Each structure stands twice: as structure tokens, then as C-alpha cells.
With several copies, the nearest count.
Chain A
């Protein structure tokens, strides 16, 4: 089990009801971690439309989950 800090933004935060949470997870990679949180919070956005960031930098979905990281699921951005 790894313990990570999750950040939620925009529609994901509205769905989760919190902007951050600490979770313990057995998910082997970031894709599995999203699937787990998607099931728990009922996120409408499929993984294919998201990017993921670890400690503030874009990461790949197949990277392993490491304890102590800050992980953000990035919904399609709409700045500018």
C-alpha cells in the first residue's frame, strides 16, 4: 500500500466534493489509481480525456504509484 496526496480541479473537484485528499492505495500505476478514484467519486471524465501530473509535472499513466507523491488528475484545460 502507498499513501499519496491527490489534488482535484474543476469538474473533478466538484464531483469529489474536496480539492485534495490523502489516500492509501494498492493501485500499481497511475491509470489504476484514477480508475479507483473514478469508481469512488463517480467522475464522468474518462481517463482518455485526462492527463496526469506527479509533483507538478506531467507524467505517464503507466508510471508506478510512489508513496508521498502529490498526484493531480488534469481535466482538459480551458485557459487563455
Chain B
């Protein structure tokens, strides 16, 4: 049953507001006792600078394929019922949700581990870039140095 109910594609890019309740409902299964979820919110600061807002840009076709592959990897590696991730593109304001990851599983260990794996790997590997606007008038693309904790390919 769970295989049939899994989303064909576990990842989507959206240019409209994310709705956590609808996303969450898609992962409900009677055999799921645990649900772990991660949301990335637009912070008002980054590296000590006040942030006014930001924009996400993606290499759309590739981001959709790589994102779906990351979610498939999580489904294969962890004993979970289902998993899903959506990522915003376009302009976002402070407090907006940039990314949502949800995982349902029979037990909480697998739900947490898969959720963490997905967000870590999305951040490492999916071609999406953040452009921040700062209170001091400056703006720029973020091209972070590799995070040593990130899961590498």
C-alpha cells in the first residue's frame, strides 16, 4: 500500500507560498506512528548582517531531478513510509518558508534520520541559489564553502 501511495516525484519547486498542512496530510498513513518535519524560514540575519529579503533561483529541470533523487535515496536507505520535499523559488520575505521536508515512518528514529538526510543533501547538491538583500544596501549571491558536516555524493 505504501508504495502505491508514495508520490511519483518526492520533490517539487514552487513559486507560491508553501502550505505545511496540505503537505503534511499527503504523508499520513495508518501504519505511520512518527512524523518528522523540517522547515527552513527566511531569517532576519546571516553572518551578522541584517537581511531584508531574498530570492531563490534554480536550474529548474536539474533541480527537480536531483531533488527527486535525494528523496528516493532517503526512501531506500531508511525504514520510512513516505517522504516529500518542496522548495520555493522567487522572492521571499522574512519569516517566509523556503523549504519543507516531511517524513512519515512507523518509528521516530528513521523519520528523524531520513528528514535530516534529505535537508542536508538538498543543501549540498540541488542546484538552487540564494540571493540576499541587506539592510546596508548591499546584495549578493551566497556561494558557501563546502559544509564539512554535509552529506557528500
Contact = CB atoms under 8 A, between A and B. Distances in A.
A touches B (Cβ under 8 A): yes
Interface of A: 7, 9-11, 14, 45, 49, 53, 56-58, 72, 74-80
Given A9-B129, A58-B66, A75-B129, 9 more contacts: A10-B129, A10-B143, A72-B62, A75-B141, A78-B142, A78-B144, A79-B58, A79-B99, A79-B126
Contacts of B124: 77
Given A9-B127, A9-B129, A53-B127, A76 B143 contact: yes
Interface residues of B, number: 32
The 7 closest A-B pairs by CB, nearest first: A79-B128, A80-B123, A78-B142, A10-B129, A76-B143, A78-B130, A56-B62
A11 B127 contact: no
Chain B interface mostly: mixed
B9 interface: no
Counting chain B CB atoms within 10 Å of each CB, which of A45, A49, A58, A80 scores highest?
A80
A74 B87 contact: no
B146 interface: yes
Interface string B123-142: 11111111100000000111
A77 B129 CA distance: 5
Given A75-B129, A79-B123, A79-B128, A9 B61 contact: no
A10 B59 CA distance: 10
Given A9-B57, A9-B129, A80 B143 contact: no
B119 interface: yes
A10 B131 contact: yes
A9 B143 contact: no
